[in-house]
């Protein structure tokens, strides 16, 4: 079966028709590849100035979250394309393999506006997924959070940090790794070790991912706020005053969300939340069969336009909690940002900064368009 996207007029910087390994070795593609060939530094885009991200001054607090920027070539190209926040794809304490190809499919929710609602029956009954990529873009991604070993990613992350232009910040992302035979203490310690390895690269801040299925099949660390609290305490002991942001999935219960904030921000271990990650759905082909080949891949994470409503809702609820509890933490809004209007909607919902993964993959000019709209 050929997995080809059928939009002939442009090439996403991450090519969904190639393996992860080929993208890592040969990418980025399209406009990002062109930007890399030029020798301009991080771009001096006009636009709103004087913003900040976890204490670092940035030109516009907009960029790309963990995922599609695989290494320093991708992050450097993102800076040159005017994305002032470029997140280096989530790294681990050890080498970690990628799920089998294909890793990306186009997703077509049944609702008239193409949105997916957390908790809706459609997520369990099946959402159509194929290779028919359409705008506004919604996709599923199934990578398994692959990572190179630290000896490879540490020097590359250092280079990525050095390539940021004025008013731009490289945002490292990391997560812990759960392996067979690990005790809970080992698992907590693995997070702290990985945070130390990130700090050694000269990182000024970091984002810890708690929102991928790293607790076993479809179980997310962020659904256990007390464990996240213990982990962030261990991480804080390792990284000291370096600001730490936590990446959250959609959390349906207000009580759980409040417990997350109380177990982290209240204890001084966390300075912000980035939300949301993908929404898990059962993916089916046009005949109702499992869309992604292989065991354990009946469900996969959906991102892009379909999840914007859910992302905005999480940001609004976090902003309301921040007000009610009188706490000071940053909110990074993610999920379905494909246009300048979506960026504005996240800001209006209470986000201090905004990022786009899928939208940026399908529109390399997104940062320029947002800056032009301000
Ligand atoms: C290709 C791809 C890979 C991703 N990998 C990661 C990852 O390694 N770590 C992470 O925290 N989120 C990862 N994500 C999730 C994104 O950071 C983001 O939370 C999600 O895609 C929703 O944003 P969007 O609608 O703009 O795509 C990935 C997303 C995509 C599209």
- Tell whether ligand 1 has an atom less than 6 A from the beta carbon of residue 167: no
Task: Determine whether the shortest distance from the Cβ of 371 to ligand 1 is under 6 A.
Answer: no
pLDDT digits (tens, 9 = 90+) for 154-206: 999 999 999 999 999 999 999 999 999 999 999 999 999 999 999 999 999 99
Pairing label, strands 206-209, 169-174:
parallel
Residue 74 is encoded by which pair of tokens? 């991708």
The answer to whether the CB of 245 is under 6 A from ligand 1 is no
Give the closest residue to 298 by CA, choosing from 143, 144, 117, 142. 142
| Amino acid 215: pLDDT | 58
Please report the sign of the dihedral spanned by the C-alpha atoms of residue 359, residue 89, residue 148, residue 33.
Answer: positive
pLDDT digit string, tens, across residues 265-281: 999 999 999 999 999 99
Best CA proximity match to 66, nearest among 56, 78, 58, 52: 78
- Tell me the CA–centroid distance for residue 316 and ligand 1, in Å: 20
Model pLDDT for residues 105-121, shown as the tens digit of each residue = 999 999 999 999 999 99
Q: Quick check: 357 and 303 in contact, CB under 8 A?
A: yes
Q: What is the CA(36)–ligand 1 centre distance, in A?
A: 22
CA of 166 to the centre of ligand 1 (A): 26
**Rounded average pLDDT over 79-104:** 97
| Signed CA dihedral, 297, 303, 304, 309: sign only | positive
Q: Are 208 and 197 in contact (CB under 8 A)?
A: no
Smallest CA-to-CA distance from 334 within 125, 202, 173 is with 173
Distance set, CA 161 to CA 64, 109, 128 (Å): 15, 38, 39
Q: Give the pLDDT confidence score for residue 296 in this predicted structure.
A: 87
CB of 206 within 6 A of ligand 1: the answer is no
Ligand 1, atom nearest to 274 Cα = 19
- Substitution candidate for ligand 1 out of 139, 357, 361, 364 with most atoms within 8 A of CB: 357
58 in ligand 1 pocket by Cβ < 6 Å?
no
Q: Is 70 in the pocket of ligand 1 (CB under 6 A)?
A: no
CB 145 near ligand 1, within 6 Å: yes
Closest among 276, 296, 282, 290 to 356, alpha carbons compared: 276
Q: Which atom of ligand 1 is nearest to the CA of 358?
A: 27
241: helix, coil or strand? coil
Rounded-to-integer distance, Cα 360 and Cα 75, Å = 12
Q: Kindly state if the Cβ of 82 falls inside 6 Å of ligand 1.
A: no
Site to probe by mutation for ligand 1, drawn from 23, 145, 278 as the one with most ligand atoms within 8 Å of Cβ, is: 278
List the structure tokens of 9: 């007029």
Q: What is the pLDDT of residue 3?
A: 42
Give the count of alpha carbons within 13 A of 36, CB side only: 19
Report the nearest-CA residue for atom 4 of ligand 1: 67
Tell how far the Cα of 276 is from the centroid of ligand 1, in angstroms.
Answer: 9
pLDDT at 10 over 60: yes
Report the nearest-CA residue for atom 14 of ligand 1.
67
6 pLDDT higher than 60: no
Q: Which of 12, 19, 29, 65 to mutate to test the pocket of ligand 1 (most atoms within 8 A of CB)?
A: 65
Judged against a pLDDT cut of 50, whether residue 348 lies above it is answered with: yes
**pLDDT number for residue 38:** 81
pLDDT band at 1 (very low <50, low <70, confident <90, very high): very low
Pocket test for ligand 1, best of 141, 174, 370 (most atoms within 8 A of CB): 141
Percent of the chain exceeding pLDDT 90 equals 91
8 A C-beta contact, residue 279 and residue 336: no
| Strand ranges, E, within 223-310 | 244-248, 272-275, 279-284, 299-304
Whether 346 is in the pocket of ligand 1, judged by its Cβ within 6 Å, is: no
Task: Please give the domain boundaries of the chain with CATH numbers for all domains.
Answer: 60-97+141-281+300-372 (3.20.20.70)
Nearest ligand 1 atom to alpha carbon 66:
17
């Amino acid at each position: 079966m050929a997995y080809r996207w059928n939009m002939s007029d442009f090439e996403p910087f991450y090519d969904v028709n190639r393996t992860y390994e080929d993208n890592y070795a040969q990418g980025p593609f399209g406009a990002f590849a062109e930007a890399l060939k030029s020798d301009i530094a991080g771009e001096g885009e006009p636009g709103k100035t004087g913003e900040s991200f976890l204490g670092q001054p940035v030109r516009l607090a907009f960029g790309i979250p963990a995922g599609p920027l695989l290494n320093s070539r991708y992050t450097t190209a993102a800076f040159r394309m005017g994305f002032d926040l470029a997140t280096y794809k989530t790294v681990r304490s050890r080498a970690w393999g990628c799920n089998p190809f294909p890793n990306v499919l186009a997703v077509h929710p049944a609702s008239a506006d193409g949105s997916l609602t957390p908790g809706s029956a459609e997520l369990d009954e099946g959402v159509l997924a194929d290779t028919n990529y359409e705008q506004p873009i919604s996709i599923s991604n199934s990578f398994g959070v692959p990572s190179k070993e630290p000896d490879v990613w540490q020097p590359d992350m250092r280079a990525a940090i050095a390539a940021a232009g004025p008013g731009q910040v490289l945002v490292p992302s990391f997560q812990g790794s759960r392996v067979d035979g690990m005790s809970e203490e080992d698992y907590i310690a693995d997070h702290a070790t990985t945070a130390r390895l990130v700090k050694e690269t000269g990182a000024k801040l970091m984002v810890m991912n708690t929102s991928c299925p790293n607790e076993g099949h479809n179980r997310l660390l962020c659904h256990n706020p007390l464990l996240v609290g213990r982990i962030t305490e261990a991480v804080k002991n390792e990284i000291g005053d370096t600001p730490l942001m936590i990446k959250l999935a959609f959390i349906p219960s207000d009580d759980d969300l409040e417990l997350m904030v109380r177990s982290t921000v209240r204890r001084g271990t966390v300075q912000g939340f980035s939300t949301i990650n993908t929404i898990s759905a059962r993916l089916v082909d046009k005949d109702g069969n499992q869309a992604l080949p292989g065991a354990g891949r009946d469900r996969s994470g959906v991102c892009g336009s379909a999840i914007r409503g859910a992302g905005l809702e999480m940001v609004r609820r976090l902003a309301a909690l921040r007000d009610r509890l009188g706490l000071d933490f940053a909110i990074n809004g993610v999920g379905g940002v494909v246009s300048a209007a979506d960026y504005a909607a996240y800001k209006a919902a209470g986000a201090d900064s905004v990022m786009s993964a899928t939208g940026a993959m399908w529109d390399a000019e997104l940062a320029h368009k947002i800056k032009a709209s301000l």
